[in-house]
Structure 1
């Protein structure tokens, strides 16, 4: 049975009391002319406390502003307004989040329905927290997939991927890139003499050293075992040799027993047609030449 509008601008109908939602009608002056018993059962308002009062009486300050600035203009223009979020006040001043649907008739009466959105808001908050947790887990998985667990440097797969992008950018900007292959001297002897835990410590400290000396734009990776790679964008051969000299000095500060750690470094420079595979082959061969030259040195591929 529909709501009945009376001649004196009052609306009444007892069947609306059975709905599990708030039903409310306001006239053209935004004065409440009808409420169902939901307001008494859920919000503890008696009908005579609301009939004849402005709808503002049951809304928070922020919701009043939203009502005047958006909801009512939308109703005037569209004749209806759906799924708006407001905060309603109970008779004791308690706040309740509600979802509002409203429709304007030709005589200026607005028929409002209010749905308690408290549980919906809780569910929404839980969904947001769950999504944030999943995003954090995804970032962690991506990090685990792209970094070496021991040194926190890039792993081989991520280095292969990023190096291609870096070289493509260098070609577009006509800039050179240096590739360094760094191999720890006599690493097997370190493990055999001091144990694998000491070997892991050396690898970890070397990783930290390479991070410290490198720029944010450089790519630094543990490429496998005791082999590390550094790609230096926008770097010329003279700067590369200066960098390697400083690198040997810093690495020597890592102690193995009473001696400083040493590495052999193979270096090469890119040209406009260089691929990462080609650069790595040249730099890797240069490492063997550095070891043949007595270790603890850098050899530049020419």
Structure 2
């Protein structure tokens, strides 16, 4: 849950100006897409993603066994900036959506994410802007790992040095180390759980974006300095620059083959049948879901009422 709380803060900044160095892709799958694998069935993975959305405080727009669509919250500044980008003074307040598509992949489920912002203009036209920045990609990839996903085999990490530690926010200065990977650069440098890192490669550390900035700067030289507090004392160590290894495929031979769902399973929503049908119709009209998906949802909805 701590990871999801930190991620919620990160997603709150998706449309604000992000640091130049943090806005570089961290995990780069071979496909170049924002995706992850879940070592479970498609329906179970769909539930994982849906619960992740709920835990982030997002609104569930629709959820089937193969597609989850969430509306992520926007603050006043994000809404204003997005309106300047894709709308005008007569358009509705912008909304941001993330769609997760799920499909069986051998003994795992492959989940791909696409995000966009949309607003409705004065005469009903809907304008959309795809979320394709590295900042967005990094946050969604972090969400995937926080809810149990793994990076696809062949994923590289070319833009940031490997540190080998988990962090949590302190509510003030620095990030606290919650775990250390044995044999990692952080471990070999003598860092420990509970240390509060305040600077990394001369980058002041307060947030996850700052950390990515520091890890990006850390690739410039063979070593970089890390400043931290331990038991109230300020300390500094030198850490070796090392790149995270390319992700290898895990051994899943003990897992059963994933079977594709035979039909979508609609999540129960606190709306009337008419309200749900109207929402699905709007998603179809806006091009978010296909006519076939709409008809399947409609049939399921009507048969359950």
Question: TM-score, with normalisation over the residues of structure 1?
Answer: 0.19
Who wins on radius of gyration, i.e. which is larger? 1
Higher RCO, 1 vs 2 (CA within 8 Å, ≥6 residues apart): 2
Question: TM-score, with normalisation over the residues of structure 2?
Answer: 0.19
